[in-house]
Amino acid sequence: MPLIMSFRRWWAAIFVAILLLPALGHFLPDAPAPMRTVLAPEARWWEDAARRLDPWINNTFGFRGAVLAAHRSYVRFIGDSQSRLVLKGEHGALYLNSEKAVEQSIGQVVRPEEVAHFLAFAQRMNAYMTAQGGRFVVVVAPNGQTANFELLPAYARQLKKSPTEFDLVAQGLKAEGVAFADVRPLFTEAKKTGPVHWLYDTHWNRRGALIAFNATMVAAGRPDLQISADDALGPPEPTMKGDLARMGGITPARPDVDYPPKGPTLDQPGQVEMPGVMQPVGMTDPFESYAYSTGHAGPRILVIGDSFTQGFWRGWLAYRASAYGWTHHRYCRFDMGAVERFKPDILIYAPTERAMQCKGEPFVAQDGPGQGGQGQGTPGNAAPGNATPGNAAPTNATPTKGGG
């Protein structure tokens, strides 16, 4: 009598094939998946396999990307959410765990087309400002994962690859002759004497913001506009604040460090709002544009940025500029009409690292200043010789939360 009846042999073959599927998943193409957080089993895993081996298996099983994608689809279908927006690092440091910020900072996500789009945008803006007799400067606020790389979880540090998107942008801007303030080496040096980025927040601290401001002024060819830390910042103070701690419902185990502003960079008298320059924003939009004249000598400086510059740089701009303004970059979809009306001597484009990608082009609002909200517009073509870099109206110019 045969070991396996003839009519059961096909079932046996099918059963073995099913068992082999996970193994085949290690060799066949798979869907994209989150980073592996465990790269190898713990030492002597056989002594406690459930604790020491299971985490590695959970990170390496076949068709991991497809299985996790199916799980996410199921979670969305039932209306549940298992997203974790906060990543815990070494010594209690917190990081934003969305928008691929971790993967971007360690070089696991590199999008050449988006980098090329950003570089092309920067070249057009540089050409525009050159034609106007002004200066265009790019500065990128590093992700917390970049600024505090050494505090990332060990698995993330081990996965670091080069070049990153930040590297490619820095190289590309230099090759095209666009002024760029690369704050990363400055931050590395400054951290020897104090922090430059908050531990429990997505933003740089005031010390890091001042270093970036000064580097931008140098890149603009105006080193005389730098402000010393002694003039701008008070002595360090402990703080327990942080948007990441709030988002994660986490109480920090130890205080962070803050540097309170002081001196002439605080609120200053004599500033006059410049009417008709900036478009109003919606009542629920936290990124309200502003433009002021200061009544003293200095260049006209306009910043197209996000929350890394909206409040952090305001007092310093007022201290050094005869007129200053700020508006949100909206992923390159800002109102170019505001630039034309403000007429800056120095135009600064300052996105955070995770918001470098362009989702459209600058535009000129149809309604005109003071008549409508941002987000409606026509292609920018008002400058002489069609020098305005915008060439498409945005469909939704409101920045997302992650854009800062």
DSSP state of 34: P
Q: Are residues 72 and 116 in the same domain?
A: no
DSSP H helical ranges for 303-383 = 307-310, 314-320, 336-342
| In a shared domain, residues 105 and 54 | no
Same domain, residue pair 184 and 116: yes
Domain boundary pick from 82, 111, 128? 82
- Per-residue pLDDT at 26 exceeds 70: no
Same domain, 278 and 347: yes
Could you tell me if residue 331 is inside a domain?
A: yes
Query: What percent of the chain lies above the pLDDT cut of 90?
Result: 62
**Residue 199 lies inside a defined structural domain of this protein:** yes
Whether residue 300 is found in the same domain as residue 355: yes
Choose the weakest-confidence range: 193-197, 297-301, 387-391, 400-404: 387-391
Report pLDDT for 381. Answer: 37
Position 1 in a domain: no
| 118 and 72 fall within a common domain | no
Domain end (from 44, 62, 82): 82
Q: Give the helix/strand (H/E) hosting 292.
A: strand 290-293
Same domain, 11 and 141: no
The pLDDT of residue 373: 40
Residues 62 and 114 in one domain: no
Domain assignment of residue 112, given as a range = 92-403
Q: Give 183 or 38, the one with higher predicted confidence.
A: 183
Report the domain count for the chain: 2
Can you state the angle between helices 112-131 and 165-176, rounded to 10 degrees?
A: 30
End residue of a domain, out of 61, 82, 103 = 82
If asked whether residues 174 and 71 sit together in one domain, one would say no
Length of the chain equals: 404
Rank 32-36, 80-84, 375-379 by mean pLDDT and report only the highest.
32-36
87: in domain = no
- Pairwise pLDDT comparison (141 vs 251), residue with the higher score: 141
Using pLDDT thresholds of 50, 70 and 90, give the confidence band for residue 29: confident
Contact (Cβ atoms closer than 8 angstroms) between residue 180 and residue 173: yes
* 3-state secondary structure at position 150: helix
Task: For residue 32, tell me if it sits in a domain.
Answer: yes
When mean pLDDT is compared across 254-258, 267-271, 306-310, the lowest value belongs to 267-271
Strands (DSSP E) found in 63-134: 86-88, 94-96
Q: What is the mean predicted confidence (pLDDT) over 129-144?
A: 98
153 and 262 both lie in a single domain: yes
Question: Nearest CA to 362 among 382, 380, 384?
Answer: 380
* The pLDDT value given to residue 66: 74
| pLDDT of the residue at 403 | 55
Residue that wins the pLDDT comparison between 255 and 283: 255
Same domain as 238, residue 151: yes
Question: What pTM does this model have?
Answer: 0.75
Same domain, 25 and 128: no
**pLDDT tier, 95 (very low <50, low <70, confident <90, very high otherwise):** very high
Q: Do the strands 300-305 and 323-328 form a parallel or antiparallel pair, or are they unpaired?
A: parallel
Q: Is the distance from CB of 213 to CB of 137 less than 8 angstroms?
A: no
Express each pLDDT in 146-177 by its tens digit: 999 999 999 999 999 999 999 999 999 999 99
Q: How confident is the model at residue 21 (pLDDT cuts 50, 70, 90)?
A: confident
Range from 105-119, 245-259, 299-313 carrying the lowest mean pLDDT: 245-259
